[in-house]
Amino acid sequence: MSCLICRKLESITISDGNVIIKGFILRKRLIIILSLLFIVQIAWAQSKDQKTEDPRYILHPETGQLSMVIRIWGEVAQPGVTLVPSDADLMTILSYVGGPTGRAKLNKIRIIRFNVVEGIERVAFANIEAFLETGDDSFMPIIYPNDTIIVNGTIWKVINEFMPYISTAITLLQFYYYVILTRNS
């Protein structure tokens, strides 16, 4: 075994800033670049492996409390991605994001499951209005890590968004009507 190591050591020599390996001359810079590429490849492979894993629960960096990441979209005060306690229900999560807006449709909140759990539907619906009236927990599904909660707006939100366009169209129609009236007179 020692002879094998000796042969390998004899085949690698360093002279004048060059490294000679079995007859190939390599510059130190090339060796450094190749080493860095190898390290980057290892780091990339590790990060790729970590991205495919789904961290269901994490420790909150400030409080140290067991937490989960939730995405919330739509008619809430602060939509986006938020970190909430692992035992948070839908009402607590809505409170974390500032609550629903006045145009939120609270009788059909959609919850899309990122992690497929056996026996649980991929899309669930919550009815906060019914929960507030009855106090029945069956209207509030359990929230799991990485769920996406979508709070849609009411029909009044749609009308409110299109009202400026409708108003402009009515004004143009009135103007056209007055032009026709003045030509016929």
- Give the domain ranges of the chain: 2-52, 58-153, 160-185
* CATH ID of 58-153, from 3.40.50.620, 3.10.560.10, 3.40.50.720, 3.30.70.20: 3.10.560.10
Per-residue confidence (pLDDT) for residue 150, from 0 to 100: 93
Cα separation, 85 vs 58, in Å, equals 10
DSSP, collapsed to helix, strand or coil, labels residue 83 as strand
Cα separation, 125 vs 81, in Å, equals 19
The answer to whether the beta carbons of residues 159 and 165 sit under 8 Å apart is no
Q: Which of 105, 136, 140 is nearest to 125 (CA)?
A: 140
* Cα–Cα distance list, 60 to 17, 68, 150 (Å): 50, 8, 24
| Run means of pLDDT, 10 residues per run, the chain, 185 residues | 43 58 59 77 60 64 85 93 91 93 91 80 91 90 91 81 85 88 82
